[in-house]
Amino acid sequence: MPTRRANARPPEGPAQGGRGRDPNTRPSPGLLEADVAVVGAGAAGLYTALTAARQGARVALVSATPLAESASYWAQGGLAAAIAFDDSPQLHLEDTIAAGRGAVRPSAAEVLCAEAPARVQELEQLGVRFDADRRGRLALGLEGGHSARRIAHAGGSATGRRITRQLSALVAEDERIAVLERRRAAGLWMVDGRAVGLVCDDGRAIATRAAVLATGGAAALWARTTNPPGAVGAGMVIAHAAGAALADLELMQFHPTAVVAPDGAGDDVDGFLITEAIRGEGATLLDEDGERFVDELAPRDEVARAIQDRLRESSATAVRLDMRAVDAGRFPNVVATLRRAGIDPAREPIPVAALDEPPAARGAPPPLASVRAPDATPVPETRAALWRHAGLVRTPEGLRELASDPHPLARLIAACALAREESRGVHRRADHAELDPALDLKHAVSRPQRAPSFERWE
């Protein structure tokens, strides 16, 4: 990651602080001050840091992992924005609400759809080069759940890589942004219920007027995942430990077309996500008899469920994604990864499956031990338990077992999934197969020390 390091050697790092001293108890290393502390260097964190700096703020950007380990870097298909002349934010909103199965917060979706075209334009102004058609206009892809072509992409299917590279180069140049690489935020520094800073796992405190937790999602808590290993919901655990409410934990998307790699193909290929933009360009899903069995452009949860049903009926381990009729040149990184695994998508369909299984008076900085949130790193047993009990189909018995898992976020996920006694979109309960209209627009909210409660969000 081409970033400028801030205080790469902390004043009281191991050299001065004494080898082997416990960071929980040693005095806080030198205090760093900033207007805004941003945790996470994915697209959200990088963009937040740049935006705050452009408004004149001094920013501290804390990143646990190198760039290539953020989900943003891995994102393939692109960004949805109603840019085409025959499209509109209103149509985009209608598609979003329909795909959300009554669980979408309309006011949030409105902002998303209304602002998306301007955000794409802004990324272009920041130097991100999106793919263009022959006339120089943005080339827009089609994806599941969308009734119009509205996916802006870069480098074929390397959109996330292009965006994060460009944004991190701008961050590196920006004098107002101090980057603390390979540091992990461990807890929020709270005074009177307000965050006045944060503390990293080496004990360093950052005093700030605002802290933004942009640590990505929690999909890597599940045993099989398309996400990088750092996506374990660290920010959610930190926020919850500091008193924040979390919502919608039971709703986890399972991507329908992740590669089932042949034996010996390597870990980087098994579970590799094949962007649905490829289905948008005409790739089809075939069962073991070579027959199509689902509308490939239906919303993801529908496609994932159709694949799982077909696998259960046939006892096969994978269905096939046939992209032989698609221009492979548009998706160079997908083709290269598949070829490494011995699969030539120009000649043969690809085996894929459902991966079934969100300036105050502050005094002296607190010692790490007093603010440290529970460790978000899952043990393999937790990942296996989430996969088993909080996958595509959930049972109350399995969820109750998960509710006593040692991982704090796994327990909260189980509690929310138990509370939602219905099947809706990605959340499917074996004992409550139908959608419950009484839960339309209702979100399971998890507050510290309380059982989840349902709140209606307009």
Ligand X SMILES: Cc1cc2nc3c(=O)[nH]c(=O)nc-3n(C[C@H](O)[C@H](O)[C@H](O)COP(=O)(O)OP(=O)(O)OC[C@H]3O[C@@H](n4cnc5c(N)ncnc54)[C@H](O)[C@@H]3O)c2cc1C
CB of 3 or CB of 423, closer to ligand X:
3
What's the 3-state SS for 166-202?
A: HHHHHHHHCCCEEEEECCCEEEEEEECCEEEEEEECC
Please compute Rg for the chain using Cα positions: 23
| Spatial contact of 148 and 141, defined as CB atoms under 8 Å apart | no
By CB under 6 A, name the one of 57, 239, 273, 334 that touches ligand X. Answer: 273
Does residue 48 touch ligand X according to CB under 6 A?
no
Whole-number Å distance between alpha carbons of 151 and 352 = 23
By CB under 6 A, name the one of 10, 29, 40, 365 that touches ligand X. Answer: 40
Does residue 52 touch ligand X according to CB under 6 A?
no
CB of 273 or CB of 399, closer to ligand X:
273
Does residue 62 touch ligand X according to CB under 6 A?
yes
Active site residue 183: no
CB-closest chain residue to ligand X = 42
Taking the complex as a whole, the smallest distance from the CB of residue 65 to ligand X amounts, in Å, to 4
| Spatial contact of 258 and 353, defined as CB atoms under 8 Å apart | yes
Choosing from 105, 165, 300, 420, the catalytic residue is 300
> Please, what is the Cα angle at 150 between 144 and 153, to 5 degrees?
95
CB of 229 or CB of 262, closer to ligand X:
229
Whole-number Å distance between alpha carbons of 211 and 453 = 26
Does residue 176 touch ligand X according to CB under 6 A?
no
Q: Which of residues 79-118 bind ligand X (CB under 6 A)?
A: 79
Taking the complex as a whole, the smallest distance from the CB of residue 320 to ligand X amounts, in Å, to 20
CB of 236 or CB of 319, closer to ligand X:
236
Q: Which helix (H) or strand (E) holds 79?
A: strand 79-80
Q: How many residues form the binding site for ligand X (CB under 6 A)?
A: 34
Stretch that binds ligand X, among 171-179, 228-236, 322-330, 428-436 (CB under 6 A): 228-236
| Spatial contact of 296 and 283, defined as CB atoms under 8 Å apart | yes
Does residue 45 touch ligand X according to CB under 6 A?
yes
Q: Which helix (H) or strand (E) holds 418?
A: helix 408-419
Q: Which of residues 127-166 bind ligand X (CB under 6 A)?
A: 160
Alpha helices in 204-318 (DSSP H): 234-241, 277-280, 300-314
Taking the complex as a whole, the smallest distance from the CB of residue 418 to ligand X amounts, in Å, to 26
Q: Which of residues 230-259 bind ligand X (CB under 6 A)?
A: 230-231, 234
**What is the phi/psi pair of residue 382, to 5°?**
-65, -45
Tokens 């891995």 belong to which residue? 74
Active-site residue set:
300
Binding site for ligand X (CB under 6 A): 39-45, 62-65, 69-72, 74-79, 160, 184-185, 214-216, 226-227, 230-231, 234, 273, 275
